[in-house]
Chains A and B, each alone.
Chain A
Amino acid sequence: MDQSDGLAYDQAEAANSMRERTIVENSLVVLLQGLHGQVTTVDLRDESTARGRVVNVDAYMNVRLADVLFRDRRGRVSRLEDLFITGRNVRYVHIPDNLDITDTIEKQLGKISRMRNYAGDRGSKKKKTNK
Chain B
Amino acid sequence: MVVLKSVSPPTDGVRHEQAETSAILDGKGLGCGTLYVAETRLSWFDGTGMGFSLEYPTIGLHAISRDLGTYPQEHLYVMVNAKLNDENDAEMRENAEDGEDEDASDDDGVAGDDEEGAISEIRFVPSDKAALEPMFSAMCECQALHPDPDDEDSENDFEGEEYDVEEAEAEHGRGGDIPSFYTCEEGLSSLNSEGEATLSRLEGMLARSVAQQFHMAGVRTDNGGDFEDGMDVEGGSAEAGQFEDADADVDHCTSWSPVPSPNLKE
Contact = CB atoms under 8 A, between A and B. Distances in A.
A, B bound: yes
A59 B189 contact: no
Contacts of A78: 65, 67, 69-71
A61 B150 CA distance: 13
A23 B9 CA distance: 34
Contacts of B60: 44-46, 85-86, 88-89
B61 A89 contact: yes
A18 B161 contact: yes
Given A80-B64, A84-B63, A128 B154 contact: no
Contacts of A94: none
B143 interface: yes
Contact of A60 (B77, B151, B158, B161): B151
A82 interface: yes
A46 B158 contact: no
Contacts of B167: 122
A26 B60 CA distance: 25
Contacts of B140: 62, 64, 84
Interface string B54-95: 000101111111110111000001000100000000000000
A81 interface: yes
A47 interface: yes
A79 B67 contact: yes
B61 A83 contact: yes
A10 to B, nearest CB: 15
Contact of A26 (B59, B117, B157): B157
Interface in A97-118: none
Contact of B144 (A21, A50, A58, A70): A58
Contacts of A83: 61-64
B59 A22 contact: no
Contacts of B144: 58, 60, 62
A26 B158 contact: yes
Which size class do A's interface residues fall under?
Answer: 35 or more
Given A58-B144, A60-B151, A25 B63 contact: no
B186 interface: yes
Contacts of B69: 78
A82 B63 contact: yes
B84 to A, nearest CB: 16
A118 to B, nearest CB: 15
Contact of B147 (A44, A60, A73): A60
A84 B67 contact: no
B104 A128 contact: no
Contacts of A61: 154
Interface in A17-57: 18-19, 21-23, 25-27, 29, 44-47, 50
B138 to A, nearest CB: 11
Contact of B104 (A25, A27, A60, A74): A74
Interface of B: 57, 59-67, 69-71, 77, 81, 104, 106, 110, 113-115, 117, 119, 133, 136, 139-140, 143-144, 147-148, 150-151, 153-154, 157-158, 161-162, 164-167, 185-186, 188-189
Interface of A: 15, 18-19, 21-23, 25-27, 29, 44-47, 50, 58-62, 64, 68, 70, 72-74, 76, 78-89, 122-123, 125-126, 128-131
Pairs of residues from A and B, 6 with the lowest C-beta to C-beta distance, nearest first: A22-B162, A78-B70, A83-B63, A60-B147, A88-B148, A79-B67
Given A50-B61, A78-B70, A130-B189, 13 more contacts: A27-B153, A45-B60, A60-B148, A60-B154, A73-B104, A83-B61, A84-B139, A84-B140, A85-B61, A86-B61, A88-B151, A89-B61, A130-B188
